[in-house]
Structure 1
Amino acid sequence: MKKLFYKHRMTIVITILLLTTTLLLNANYNLFPFERWTSQLISQTPVRITATPINIVNKPVTITRAGSIEASTSVPINADFSGHISELYVTEGQAVKAGQPLLKLKASSNQTVSQSTEVSQQVQADYDNALNEFNRYQKLYEIGGIPRRQLEMATTHLQEAKANLTNAQNTMQSSAVTVNGFATMTAPIDGIVMSLSTAPEKAVQTGQQLLSLGSGQEVEVVIPLGQNDLYLIHLGTPTTLEILHQTFAGQVSRIYPQVEANQSPSFLAHIKLANNPAGLLKPGMSGNVHINIGQSATVAAVPTASVLHDGQGRSFIYTAINGKAILQQVSIGETIDDFTEITSDLPQNSMVVTSSINDIKNGDQITIIQ
């Protein structure tokens, strides 16, 4: 044995050196399969997760229309003659009803003011337009061209215009005085006192604006509506304006017909906003208006916490299939409470992984726990 060792000792030493060098290199570059064996053993250990079936939730149905920000309409109250304010019955921001006294105006001495029954051309024009619309709608209704609801709206519009005309006439008649006479000016419409620029004993000139009556807001939102929309949208319908990456709540305050010759009936809905912080909204801006029509629809949804998002804006969920976590890309819709709407197709019996979604990988073995 010793003779054999001495005979081949150089070969043995070289072999040992080569084996040692090989082991060191493999260790240095992690070429041993031990880690792969270990990770494989670990990955084969099922991950304990929770899962839930696809949920069916009620989603509010909304109609979306492009809306424009416009200056709120207002009715100016002007002095019918020169004089001074004898009494002022209202304050800035006060809500008033049509016919309610606003102020008492005393004429200047040596001035003759003749009685006049003329009314504002604008109020008269509004009434004439409303009457023409009513007559046109009545004919369309008689031949079955429009539903009864549209005729009723035209009737309401005409009644409002007639009331405004009557109030304006009463206001003009009440302001007829003679030298040193008094006139009590009343509100021609319901509204909010705005731009109040006078005070008791303050002198005024003929035609000078004393105040205006409006909605109490500087701006409102106007959206176009079609004939079929009137079955779903009415006065008081809640709305949400989406603009400047913010949302503003409001409600429909007025709906007016807009009928042109040789065109289908259309409408404009005016929306009163709950607030306009710091005057953020200005006339000329535009945004999307979401109108809640008071109906709902059932949609598929999953817990929001179970949805993953990547840097490219894509959305994913893990589904439990045959004991494995399978990553699936999905299309999502709106968030409804704690759920997110899924708009892409998924099997109805799918089980969505709801826990450990950041700790598992596609294809991992899983065990669903209760």
Structure 2
Amino acid sequence: MKKLTRNSRLLLALMLLVCAAALLLAVSSKQLPTGLWPRQISPQAPVNLTAIPLGTINKPIQVTRTGSLESAASVPIHAAFSGHPSEIYVTEGQAIKAGQPLLKLQPSPSAVTQQVAVPSQQLQTNYDNALKEYDRYQKLYEIGAIPRRQMESITAKLQEAKERLAAAGTQSAGSITGPATITAPIDGIVTGLAAAPAKEVQAGQLLLSLGSGQELGAVVQLEQKDLYLVQLGTPVIVEAVQQTIVGQVASIYPQVEAKQNPVFLAHIKLASKPAESLKAGMPATIHINTGETAVVPAVPTASILQDSQGQTYIYLAVNGKAVLQQISVGKTMDDFTEITSGLPAESLIITSSLDSLRDGDTITVIQHQ
């Protein structure tokens, strides 16, 4: 009777060991997907498989910065003297180019006979601002920080302001003798058109504004090194409050207060009207597509394994063994994915038998692509 009890105890202990081993194997299989389980049995015959060298892809260079939504900038156009528009050449919402005629202003009788003592304060302010802007950009152009076309645009803007100020000075020496054609100082869209034919206006009164035609735009800071990649017209993607809007760089201005490390503000013109939920002052993520590319290491997307925690792995062929290597990944293009963690340039990436392969398996590379 005692002998039977001892055998029963031995049998029970054996059954408990078997159950514990099964439970351990089940837990292990939940943590790693097929192809990542450690080898638990004796070494098998070498596994025949294929492998390829570490590859590369041409990854688009994208400048990503945190910016904000802002009220779209606009340039006001004021009357230089009292009178009325005899002709208006533009309409609300019309896109115009710098130098394009906007309207013809007929002076009033009092403006014709009145001696103008000083030029319009607004014209003087416009010229002073244009001159300061020109001086800043001239220094940037000399060191190659801005493109020539941007410098040409600033030069044209200064010349326009200078000619308007000179015309006002000429009028100050005598009387206004006839109508004056007002032209656009910058490219833009006509907004807030207040002028109407035969409607009297006073000197300094707002006639119209030139802007993007939208209430909202976006602003983002750039560093000096970014100016070699970002230019006027560069495509942009703006993300704010789970909304995505495309746009383009409309202007780039240096921040005057930045003395040690130059900082620039890029103003983004949005290609479509923002949703009403978007307001000025909201933060936004700005993705600027520079059009340039960089060569980065990459592996076939199909060779990447992932565990239940989202960690990514590949198998490397190293001295006749399969070595499981954890990696971090970036952008996927076509059939390849960027590797952002360091891998030796001579690495061989295993591309077959991934479902049955285990870390440490003996392998034979039968195809080295």
- Range into which the TM-score falls when normalised by the shorter chain: 0.5 to 0.7
| Equivalent position of 2:53 in the other structure | 53
Cα shift readout 1:40-72 (whole Å, capped 9, x = no counterpart) = 899947776553321023334444443333222
Task: Give, as a single letter, the amino acid of the residue that structure 2 aligns with 1:51.
Answer: A
Aligned equivalents of 2:99 and 2:330: distance in 1?
51
Contact 2:216 2:274 in 1 (8 A): no
User: Contact 1:72 / 1:220 at 8 angstroms: preserved in 2?
Assistant: yes
Identity of matched residues, %: 52
Contact kept, 8 Å, 2:66 with 2:220, in 1: the verdict is yes
Q: CA shift at 1:315, angstroms?
A: 2.0
Report if the CA contact (8 A) 1:243-1:288 is conserved. yes
C-alpha distance in structure 2 between counterparts of 1:366 and 1:314, whole Å = 24
- Provide the C-alpha distance between the structure 2 equivalents of 1:74 and 1:238, rounded to a whole number of angstroms: 21
1:278 partner SS:
coil
Count of equivalent residues: 344
Shift of 1:129: 3.3
Deviations 1:223-269 (A, max 9, x none): 33444444444334444445445655444332333345965654333
194, 210, 215: which one pairs with 1:213? 210
Give secondary structure in 1 for the equivalent of 2:346. Answer: coil
Q: What CA deviation, in whole Å up to 9, does each residue of 1:23-53 have, x standing for no partner?
A: 999899978x9xx9xx989994777655332
Match of 2:332 in 1: 335
Query: Counterpart of 2:302?
Result: 305
C-alpha displacement of 1:192: 1.2
The answer for the alignment partner of 1:147 in structure 2 is 143
Give the secondary structure class of the aligned counterpart of 2:275: helix
Question: Of 336, 349, 354, which aligns to 2:351?
Answer: 354
Q: Deviations over 1:121-141 (max 9, x none)?
A: 455324213424555787x79
Q: 1:193 aligned to 2:214?
A: no
Q: CA RMSD in A?
A: 5.2
Q: 1:256 maps to what in 2?
A: 253
The answer on whether the counterparts of 1:63 and 1:290 sit within 8 Å (CA) in structure 2 is: yes
Question: Could you say which residue in structure 2 is the equivalent of 1:68?
Answer: 68
Distance change in 2, residues 1:275/1:49 (3 Å): farther
Cα distance per residue 1:279-315 (max 9 Å; x no partner): 6654223334444555443321112232233454422
CA positional deviation for 1:96: 1.8
Q: Structure 2: how far apart are the matches of 1:284 and 1:213?
A: 22
Instruction: Give the partner amino acid of 1:66.
Output: T
In structure 1, the residue matched to 2:36 is none
Amino acid at match of 1:329: Q
Q: Residue 267 in 1 paired to residue 268 in 2?
A: no
TM-score by length of 2: 0.65
Of 312, 316, 321, 1:315 maps to 312
Structure 1, unmatched stretches of 5+, are 1-13
2-side partners of 1:134 and 1:79: how far apart? Answer: 24
CA contact (8 A) 2:124 2:165 kept: no
1:153-192 paired onto structure 2 within 5 Å: 157-164=154-161, 166=163, 186-192=183-189
Is the Cα–Cα contact under 8 Å of residues 47 and 362 in structure 2 kept in the other structure?
yes
Alpha-carbon distance in structure 2 between the residues aligned to 1:20 and 1:261: 86
Maintained 8 Å contact 1:94/1:193: yes
Give matches, 1:82-101, under 5 Å. Answer: 88-101=88-101
Query: Cα gap change, 1:330/1:29 in structure 2, threshold over 3 Å: closer, same or farther?
Result: closer
Contact 2:316 2:325 in 1 (8 A): yes
Q: Which residue of 2 aligns with 1:129?
A: 129
> Mind listing any 5+ residue stretches in structure 2 that lack a counterpart?
26-38
Pair 1:224 & 2:221 matched:
yes
**Distance in 2 between residues matched to 1:168 and 1:320, nearest whole Å:** 75
1:6 aligned residue: none
Which letter maps to 1:58?
A: N
Q: Give yes or no for contact 1:168–1:188 (8 Å, CA) kept in 2.
A: no
Against the structure 1 CA distance between its residues 269 and 43, is the aligned structure 2 distance closer, same or farther, given a 3 Å change threshold?
A: same
Which position in structure 1 is the counterpart of 2:283?
286
Larger Rg: 1
Compare relative contact order (CA 8 Å, sep 6+) and give the higher one, 1 or 2.
Answer: 2
SS in 2 for 1:216: coil
Letter in 1 for 2:210: L
Asked if 2 retains the 8 angstrom alpha-carbon contact of 1:171 and 1:188, the reply is: no
CA offset at residue 159 of structure 1?
3.8
* Residue in 2 that maps onto 1:8: none
Name the aligned partner's letter for residue 265 of structure 2: L
Is contact 2:237–2:286 with CA below 8 Å preserved after alignment?
Answer: yes
Deviation at 1:346, TM superposition (A): 2.3
What is the CA-CA distance between 1:330 and the residue it aligns to? 0.9
Q: Whole-Å Cα distance in 2 between the matches of residues 132 and 27 of structure 1?
A: 89
| Distance 1:170-1:65 versus aligned 2 partners, 3 A rule | farther
Residue by residue over 1:149-205, the C-alpha shift from the partner in whole angstroms, topping out at 9 and shown as x without a partner, is 5697667535413314535886998xx989xx987654343321224467778x676
Residue 55 of structure 2 aligns to which amino acid in structure 1? N
Aligned residue number for residue 4 of structure 1: none
1:72 is aligned with what amino acid?
Answer: A
Partner of 1:9: none
Residues 187 and 61 from structure 1, CA distance in 2 versus in 1: closer, same or farther, beyond 3 angstroms? closer
One-letter code aligned to 1:285: M
